[in-house]
Amino acid sequence: MPPPAIRPLRRAGRLLAATAAVVGPVALFLALLVATDGAGSGFVAWSAAAGTAVVAVLWRGRRRPRRRRLVSLLPVLVAAALTLSVCVPTVPTTRRHPPALPFVTTEHWRLSTGSEVAVYHYPPTGDSPRQRVPLVYLNGGPVRGISVLDHRFLQRLAGQGHDVYAYEQAGGGRSGLLPMDQYAITRSVHDLAAFVGRLGTGRADVLGFSSGAVVLTRALADPAVAARLRRAVIAEPGPMDGPSARFTEQKGRPLARDIAPAMTGPRSTHLPRYAVAFGLMRLGLLSPDNRLVGQAEGDNAFTAADLGSDTASAYCARDAHRIPVEDTAENFSFSAAASLRIQQTIKDSPTIAPQLRRSRTPAMLMIAECSSQVRQWQTAVLADNPAIRRTQYMPGVGHHMWNGLDDNDQRAAAVITSFLQNKPAPLPDYPTRADIPAFLRDHK
């Protein structure tokens, strides 16, 4: 019998050996998953990893008694069960679009590019003069449904005389999916041109927010598309091209990201299959069109709670404990794979600065005080677009500038409508191009 002091060490050794017997096959499975790009919903990697682990254990224990060989298989069976859960879908694998909204009709337009997009129309209401040029809204995402919070803001703009149209970009919300290799920032720009052309009004005003502002910025750099635009509002843009995507410096004032209460509700990333798939895609180890989780299944699985920290990043630290519910669970839609694909095409694109410098479409830039966007993304647009006639620095708000809190919607609407209607700006023109160095130096 071993001395008492040796027994805990032996137990620890057995525990470590059992842990290694579980971790080893799991690590092999993940490596094979990456190597095969998730082939066969992960079953190719699972079969190879499980088979290799079983053979290895049986070979090592070939001279042991039968009972000990069976016991040594238990950790391998645990690993096989864990990894098998990554291979089994828990949501439908064909797209389930959100149900219709009760307050606006959803139309479906087939654009000349081949994209099928969900369209929402808010005719002008209220006592304000009717604007003759329609206003098109490009939401953020890049491939995301338009939130209920945004729909309410569009209704406010319609109440000030604007004929508002919004569409969910291909793959987002109620719009049709594209083959994964067709998602690209250039496709998004061509879809915008096709949408404005479909309106049949000649030109349109466009409000682009976040990644929608990137689409708009790149449209302004394309003379054929810019010719369809009368005025452009670039609100909180992301990186416009490869060089600007490499900026990783300062942001705005403190955000609510690390201090806001955790968002409640189900998370797909709490399930092994989607935690692994989305995690490996985000790390660039699985391609957006991987064969582990298809585009439709990924869209069905992703929930608002999965974007909890990103949502908190869109608000100032002072609002951390009163972040509004931006959307309903039924209306929420986000395509992680298609969004990553579009973002990658932006990162891979050459500079558009020379083309943007030739832009002549009157534009306005909106910047939030507590922006989660890299400031240089915003100042690059300001520096390279000579047609930006005013910049509106929005105090007291985060990236999602119209958010239903206090008078934020009213202030954002006043800034947008004053520019579109060629009226005096409600806020100082700041920062100007000359202000950029000091703006960045002072961490505004």
pLDDT in tens, 294-324: 999 999 999 999 987 889 999 999 999 999 9
Segment 62-79 shows an average pLDDT of: 73
Angle at 293 between CA 289 and CA 299, to 5 degrees: 90
Residues 369 and 249 in one domain: yes
Residues 260 and 394 in one domain: yes
Q: 19 pLDDT band (50/70/90 cuts)? A: low
Q: Alpha-carbon distance 441 to 165, whole Å? A: 39
Residues 199 and 273 in one domain: yes
Residues 167 and 74 in one domain: no
Position 95 in a domain: no
- What does each C-alpha distance from 203 to 132, 135, 208, 365 come to in angstroms? 10, 10, 16, 20
pLDDT at position 139 is: 98
Least confident of 65-74, 306-315, 332-341, 355-364: 65-74
pLDDT at position 53 is: 85
Position 366 in a domain: yes
Query: Domain boundary at 31, 50, 84, which?
Result: 84
- What does each C-alpha distance from 360 to 222, 292, 388 come to in angstroms? 11, 46, 9
Residues 247 and 291 in one domain: yes
* pTM higher than the cut 0.85: yes
User: Residue 264: which domain range?
Assistant: 107-441
Segment 149-177 shows an average pLDDT of: 97
CATH number for the domain that contains residue 328 = 3.40.50.1820
Position 59 in a domain: yes
Segment 334-355 shows an average pLDDT of: 97
Burial category of 8 from C-beta neighbours within 10 Å (exposed 0-12, middle 13-18, buried 19 and up): exposed
Residues 399 and 282 in one domain: yes
Segment 129-137 shows an average pLDDT of: 95
**Helix, strand, coil share (%) of the chain residues, nearest 5:** 45, 15, 40
Q: Check whether 277 has a pLDDT greater than 50.
A: yes
Position 91 in a domain: no
pLDDT at position 3 is: 58
Q: What is the mean pLDDT of the chain?
A: 92
Q: Alpha-carbon distance 129 to 157, whole Å? A: 12
Least confident of 194-203, 234-243, 262-271, 423-432: 262-271
| Pairing between β-strand 229-235 and β-strand 164-168 as defined by DSSP bridges | unpaired
Segment 420-432 shows an average pLDDT of: 96
The total of structural domains in the chain comes to: 2
Q: 9 pLDDT band (50/70/90 cuts)? A: very low
Segment 88-97 shows an average pLDDT of: 95
Lookup result for tokens 């395509």: 335
Three-state DSSP class for 318?
A: helix
Q: Do residues 160 and 132 make contact, with C-beta atoms less than 8 angstroms apart?
A: no
Residues 385 and 298 in one domain: yes
